[in-house]
Amino acid sequence: MDFIDLAVPAVRLLVPYTPGKPISELKREMGLSSIVKLASNENPLGPSPRALAAIQGLIQDLHLYPDGSGFGLKSAISARCGVDPGSITLGNGSNDVLDIVARTFLGTGVSAVFSEHAFEVYSIVTQAVGARSLIAKAHDGSHGPRYGHDLDAFRAAIQDDTRVVFIANPNNPTGTFLKRFELASFLSDVPRHILIVIDEAYFEYVEDPDYPNALDWLSEYPNLVVSRTFSKAYGLAGLRVGYALSHPDVAALMNRVRQPFNVNSLALMAAEAALGDEAHLENTVTLNRLGLKTVSEVLIGRGFEVISSVGNFVTFDLGIPAAPIYLSLLQAGVIVRPIANYGLPNHLRVSLGTPDENQLFLEALDQVMPR
């Protein structure tokens, strides 16, 4: 039996998400003992000490189910973000939140809009539920940051059957962002029956004064959903916990679809503790600021075209196909991210690590680039 015939039509054509190569896999493949992973936009400082302590205190209770409502974490998010707990939907990472949005509001006969070069999960969750993907061309550099979201193209892409618009701000893998006035104008233009999802996975890293906090618009736009994660700046990628903030009626619908106990006990407790550790977050942002400046300047100085980023990663154009350089970097023990699947076959994305890790990457890149 060909089991693909049993799958629903949309899933038969689905290309699964490809994560960054794990350190353990590279060790097995190449027998390397010293490896630097700069592929998945993780926090090089690791989790907050408070989060680690909270986890240790819960180990003996792992035989018990987690709090299915996530009361403690929701209360902490509510206090931090100034929203009612009834506006919060918890997810197994923000990817889970995006999937919940798709399963709640998309399906056969409707469409979702997102940008060229945008986070791959938007396409995956849209296709998985049988909805159409409408791709808005990115800026070509003539009237906005090259590779960045072009909201005029978004407006033109919206159809009568569009139900969801996904906007990454800042965007992964480009690191570009939309300014406050741009997003404010777009929100006012989009019909209220279309849900606008603003994905702020890298929110904590952005220090540009023109960058908006989308939560400021929640009370004005009931069709707005803001998603965030603890995987990046809070260093909890291995525990998988994220959340969405929205109108309570939207959250109530999403929570009908959300799987029971979709966030585990350790993740709930660690995320709640991490929210209270301002010092660790400040250290994370400071380290990233320095790394972003150093790596960007060195790459530009070596003649690479660098996409200006406000996240915890840098994407740059090698000027040649990136796949061979990526493989050579693996052999040197440095894992970065090729992004041909985002329509950028000559680009690599490198996460920002510690100063030593960043230097090892730059030295390895210098060694593997053709002379």
What confidence category does residue 11 fall into, taking pLDDT thresholds of 50, 70 and 90? Answer: confident
Looking at the predicted structure, is the pLDDT value of residue 9 above 90?
no
> Can you name the residues that pair with 314 across neighbouring β-strands?
350
Tokens 């969801």 belong to residue: 164
Tokens 């100063």 belong to residue: 355
pLDDT at 162: 98
What gap in Å lies between CA 172 and CA 185, rounded to an integer? Answer: 22
Q: For 236-255, what is each residue's pLDDT tens digit?
A: 999 999 999 999 999 999 99
3-class state of residue 143 by DSSP: coil
Highest CATH level, class, for 49-277? alpha beta
pLDDT at 67: 96
* Positive/negative CA dihedral, 45, 47, 48, 52: negative
What confidence category does residue 13 fall into, taking pLDDT thresholds of 50, 70 and 90? Answer: confident
What phi, psi does 80 have (nearest 5°)? -70, -40
**Domain coordinates in residue numbering, the chain:** 3-46+279-368, 49-277
pLDDT at 91: 98
| Letter string b/e over residues 189-219, b meaning 16 or more CB atoms within 10 A of that residue's CB | ebeeeebbbbbbbbbbbbeeeebbebbebbe
| Letter string b/e over residues 43-54, b meaning 16 or more CB atoms within 10 A of that residue's CB | bbbebbebbeeb
Least confident interval from 24-28, 127-131, 259-263, 346-350: 24-28
CATH 3.90.1150.10 fits 3-46+279-368, yes or no: yes
Averaged pLDDT, 108-119? 97
Q: For 345-368, what is each residue's pLDDT tens digit?
A: 999 999 999 999 999 999 999 999
Structure tokens at 100: 């919940």
Nearest to 169 by CA among 182, 152, 153: 182
* End-to-end CA gap in the chain: 52
6 or 113: which leads in pLDDT: 113
Nearest to 346 by CA among 180, 117, 162: 117
88 or 1: which leads in pLDDT: 88
**Are 137 and 151 a contacting pair, CB within 8 Å?**
no
**Are 339 and 174 a contacting pair, CB within 8 Å?**
no
What gap in Å lies between CA 191 and CA 185, rounded to an integer? Answer: 12
CB atoms within 10 A of CB 271: 28
pLDDT at 4: 83
pLDDT at 1: 67
Residues 6+ apart with CB under 8 A from 3: none
pLDDT at 31: 87
Q: For 176-221, what is each residue's pLDDT tens digit?
A: 999 999 999 999 999 999 999 999 999 999 999 999 999 999 999 9
R_g (Cα) of the chain, nearest Å: 21
What gap in Å lies between CA 128 and CA 102, rounded to an integer? Answer: 9
Q: For 136-153, what is each residue's pLDDT tens digit?
A: 999 999 999 999 999 999
